Structure 1
């Protein structure tokens, strides 16, 4: 091929053809997934991906859940990524997904004593119920909702939405490269937050004690409940015939160990972040702000300097601490930062029990004013009840749950308040909460978009449909936080969130079963 010549070729990422491999697999008829729901014995297999492993001779993205004549449904795929709440400036394609990434770069720095805890918040979506203790979630964003959302929104009923089959879709590997890229930038600007040799438990009396990270289940080289440290061998990946890679070896692309790859730098304004260069501590906050801007966190100075409402919302006399649900101590905002009195962000923390939900599914927050508009989507990539995955079974038996975060558009919330006349100085917090509860409802959907359950703020909107038992109801807890900005003239310092306040479960227990199969 001569210089400058163009050659047309098939898209190597489009699909993967199985040859004769798929003939050795087994199709699971949809009747396999039908579940009866006796009132006292709720065993829902929600959101199963109808992937016809034997009948389909190649991978498909977002196909119909039918065995015969499979096809791509790119219009549905695009809708899941692009459809979002309309604003005065129009739609914001995939904004909800970019927000998910941007909020990864809002962690506080200077928490070295709890570095293992911060790592756990970032790398984990599990929680364990603690009756009587209060809400068990932390306010920091987890890494996993972003890759889960991409797999389900690209795959739908196809292979990417199926945990056991996702690796057959060639897009999976491009997706994993981007996952690793985002992680590389996170660990670069938060190098102190690392699994190390465990996490720190804080007692009610203020004392602290170290706690080991442990495996859930056994594997080929570790027994169940084995201690994991930064020097635990990453079997089966070898550096040499007698030596395995360890987490310490691969912590950071600027590490002495040569990993033979890097990622292009990210720039915003005059600041450039290079993950393969040494991190200079005085630049840490500026690098974090650069990444916040790159992924669209628009709480920018001097944007925040203008009040978006005429009165404080969920106001406290002092906003000089961060609530970490009893796990971490209250910490002061750095002296050089200032809290905006009339500026808030709003999030919904979603939690679902492991035992109740089988297979992949998503929970959508939908505008009650415009029921066709999906405001935010949190996805849960799960194996089905038929899976032989030992770790999946142990997670269910441990009575744990999975969580995710919905980040509401601040502009839209304030426009909502202004439209209802609630941006006045005498507004009551409960009036704001009531408006939010009545403005949104939620829906549980399969990877292919089929409605499974729907939740509203009151039972009168549900009609005569069968309600979900309490054990199967997701929790959508509403939180607000204050916004802190750098007090000086430097616009390149990071924006921080603080004074997290839990408010209410916005939908309560009013959920109905929408399944017709």
Structure 2
């Protein structure tokens, strides 16, 4: 008898040929419809470990992302493949720690968005299968409701929560994502209050034995070995709790930051190197920056996603990559990350990782391959990444034929793409599974960055033009832009570029940029590093740690703030130059490094006039940012076409923000 493989194919909701739309969680506010009820009930169903098949339990699916570092139950092998399998009874696998099985990590890699796509499809599939079973059971027990539950269950797609929607600034998370109980519709047009599976997850059978507390050198931070359920913004308490007020404050307070960063992400031009553009968009490390030096600053999707992890998690599960997926919000978050990916790849269909990237210097004939030790036991040290073939495998997710997904198959949601059986609801007139012309895609980009409040044309029209008259912009003709583009005279955007050591503090932390003027002090932007601790068994993270990987981000300065500072700079000086204006802006800025629990680790004050940090409080070079510098860019518009995206050009780097150094506010930073 042959040994048949025990696969759980991650193929999404392929129960019919119709691609259902993911919709926002705003559509499940009242939970009074059969589809909404089956979403809640099926989530609760997958939380049970006696669920069949085992691979579709929430514990198994969440465990793919990090702890407990064991092979996913849905990816068992044929007999001839089992030689490489992890075995808890084999000491070569378990000793020393980290073990031979190093997880499935695809962070800091061009595969970040493509790997997480079948991951979201997997949870949608498991919940969809449970929903169909539950709906069928309800109709069998209630013949008068036949046709009411099963069709809605078939149409069910896992929702997303749009953390960049403007109303989040006022409303924060909706009750259905934070209340521990929820009222749903049940058979017979009755309602019932049940446990809310979108708020928290309780470990079935107790906390896994290899869960470890994540500690700072002196105090406990997160008691993952004791907490029997997931928490957000918990106190440092072995019992654990969710501080809803702190959670909502953090979520509301991060909206403007990520909106401006998303706006800049959709401001990429049409003439970039395709592989480099996808690298800049997709992941925190931006490997191709090694040869594309001093590129215009941008915040990759992975880094924006890390900010949401930190804001929702606080001192809790979402802030730690090893435990994040055990918070049910993880998949609502990643469904929205996938939605942003779908929008971006629809807008920029020609930008793709390809087989690698080339040196941009036309006089140098060099090409480079994507590499990463991606963390699985099946991959060799520093293996090449390709979009297809064996080196493109997105472990552990398999297709119907038993082969692994690859990045090329994970691309796009249109009808000509590899079937995924879902799309997203319409956004600003954009439907990501529909074909469009190049001009339609360009017009959509402009609507997107305008929606996120990052439209340089609109900002330029609101500036005090007389005060900006000394701000130089290179002519579009001199810069070699297309003939129909014309620069906006005496106007530039201001962006702070940030590069942070990924493993500086042995956990997730943030760089927060602050504006200070008189008695006013407020945070105007942030870049979050979503990092595992040193003791994590993740081999991909260990590899990045060994070569000192850097997380890239950018903080666009608010247009209105820059205008006010330029007006003030002109008023206070008899003569103002571009350089003196940049200096005046820098000296109003300061920064802080804080961990996910809010602990202040280090700080810095901007400008040459800031006091020098005392020698005994100077922060270690291993934890401070690798770069914090001010950049500005000119803006060109297409003549006679208000729907065409602007072109950012004539980028200039100005001074570093913190020449007086970083002060260690906690001994951990020394």
Task: Return the TM-score normalized by structure 2.
Answer: 0.65
Gaps of 5+ in 1: 36-47, 84-92, 322-330
How many equivalent pairs are there? 474
Cα distance change of structure 1 residues 175 and 49 upon mapping to structure 2, 3 Å threshold: farther
Report deviation, 1:367.
2.1
Report deviation, 1:384.
0.9
For the residue of structure 1 that corresponds to 2:611, the secondary structure is helix
Report deviation, 1:52.
0.6
User: How many angstroms apart in 1 are the aligned matches of 2:474 and 2:274?
Assistant: 30
Mapping for residues 56-75 of structure 1, pairs under 5 Å: 56-68=227-239, 70-75=240-245
The correspondence for 1:505, drawn from 644, 656, 665, is 656
Gaps of 5+ in 2: 1-185
Q: Deviations 1:443-479 (Å, cap 9, x if unpaired)? A: 0001011101111135527568611133432121110
Report deviation, 1:442.
0.5
Partner of 2:224: 53
Cα distance change of structure 1 residues 3 and 433 upon mapping to structure 2, 3 Å threshold: farther
Partner of 1:77: 247
Report deviation, 1:71.
2.3
Pairwise CA RMSD: 3.0
| Higher relative contact order (CA closer than 8 Å, sequence separation 6+) | 1
- Tell me whether 1:34 sits opposite 2:179 in the alignment: no
Cα distance change of structure 1 residues 435 and 5 upon mapping to structure 2, 3 Å threshold: farther
The correspondence for 1:366, drawn from 511, 514, 539, is 514
- Tell me whether 1:239 sits opposite 2:399 in the alignment: yes
Q: Deviations 1:194-239 (Å, cap 9, x if unpaired)? A: 0122212123x63454322223356333322333222123233222
Bigger drift between 416-425 and 171-180 goes to 416-425
Contact 1:364 1:377 in 2 (8 A): yes
The correspondence for 1:440, drawn from 585, 589, 592, is 589
Cα distance change of structure 1 residues 161 and 49 upon mapping to structure 2, 3 Å threshold: farther
Partner of 1:260: 421
Partner of 2:644: 493
Partner of 2:552: 403
Contact 2:359 2:367 in 1 (8 A): yes
For the residue of structure 1 that corresponds to 2:393, the secondary structure is coil
Partner of 1:38: none
User: How many angstroms apart in 2 are the aligned matches of 1:377 and 1:313?
Assistant: 29
The correspondence for 1:206, drawn from 351, 354, 363, is 363
Partner of 1:187: 345
User: How many angstroms apart in 2 are the aligned matches of 1:49 and 1:152?
Assistant: 18
Partner of 1:468: 619
User: How many angstroms apart in 2 are the aligned matches of 1:319 and 1:396?
Assistant: 42
Contact 1:22 1:56 in 2 (8 A): yes
Q: Deviations 1:16-75 (Å, cap 9, x if unpaired)? A: 112432163455374xx318xxxxxxxxxxxx992211222211111122334x322222
Partner of 2:464: 308
Report deviation, 1:412.
0.6
The correspondence for 1:120, drawn from 265, 274, 279, is 279
Report deviation, 1:166.
0.3
Report deviation, 1:365.
0.9
For the residue of structure 2 that corresponds to 1:479, the secondary structure is strand
- Tell me whether 1:250 sits opposite 2:398 in the alignment: no
For the residue of structure 2 that corresponds to 1:284, the secondary structure is helix
User: How many angstroms apart in 2 are the aligned matches of 1:74 and 1:461?
Assistant: 39
Report deviation, 1:300.
4.3
Task: Return the TM-score normalized by structure 1.
Answer: 0.83
Bigger drift between 363-372 and 456-465 goes to 456-465
Q: Deviations 1:243-296 (Å, cap 9, x if unpaired)? A: 3322121211013421110001112xxxx2111111212322112112222323
User: How many angstroms apart in 2 are the aligned matches of 1:129 and 1:462?
Assistant: 35
Report deviation, 1:416.
1.7
Report deviation, 1:117.
1.2
User: How many angstroms apart in 2 are the aligned matches of 1:218 and 1:54?
Assistant: 23
Mapping for residues 1-16 of structure 1, pairs under 5 Å: 1=186, 8-16=193-201
- Tell me whether 1:17 sits opposite 2:205 in the alignment: no
Contact 2:586 2:657 in 1 (8 A): yes
Partner of 2:433: 276
Cα distance change of structure 1 residues 206 and 313 upon mapping to structure 2, 3 Å threshold: farther
Report deviation, 1:408.
0.8
User: How many angstroms apart in 1 are the aligned matches of 2:666 and 2:530?
Assistant: 20
- Tell me whether 1:381 sits opposite 2:530 in the alignment: yes
Contact 1:127 1:137 in 2 (8 A): no
Partner of 1:292: 449
User: How many angstroms apart in 2 are the aligned matches of 1:50 and 1:180?
Assistant: 30
For the residue of structure 1 that corresponds to 2:413, the secondary structure is coil
Contact 1:481 1:498 in 2 (8 A): yes
Contact 1:65 1:448 in 2 (8 A): no
Partner of 2:379: 222
User: How many angstroms apart in 2 are the aligned matches of 1:170 and 1:218?
Assistant: 24
User: How many angstroms apart in 1 are the aligned matches of 2:644 and 2:446?
Assistant: 6
Which of the pair has more CA radius of gyration?
Answer: 2
- Tell me whether 1:342 sits opposite 2:490 in the alignment: yes
The correspondence for 1:197, drawn from 345, 355, 364, is 355
Cα distance change of structure 1 residues 312 and 182 upon mapping to structure 2, 3 Å threshold: same
Cα distance change of structure 1 residues 463 and 337 upon mapping to structure 2, 3 Å threshold: same
User: How many angstroms apart in 2 are the aligned matches of 1:49 and 1:276?
Assistant: 47
Q: Deviations 1:321-373 (Å, cap 9, x if unpaired)? A: 7xxxxxxxxx7333222211122111111112346442110011112225652
User: How many angstroms apart in 2 are the aligned matches of 1:455 and 1:110?
Assistant: 37
Contact 1:348 1:406 in 2 (8 A): yes
Report deviation, 1:484.
1.8
Contact 1:129 1:400 in 2 (8 A): no
The correspondence for 2:336, drawn from 178, 182, 191, is 178
Cα distance change of structure 1 residues 154 and 259 upon mapping to structure 2, 3 Å threshold: same
User: How many angstroms apart in 2 are the aligned matches of 1:480 and 1:11?
Assistant: 47
Contact 1:164 1:383 in 2 (8 A): yes
Partner of 2:630: 478
The correspondence for 2:321, drawn from 163, 168, 183, is 163
Cα distance change of structure 1 residues 189 and 176 upon mapping to structure 2, 3 Å threshold: same
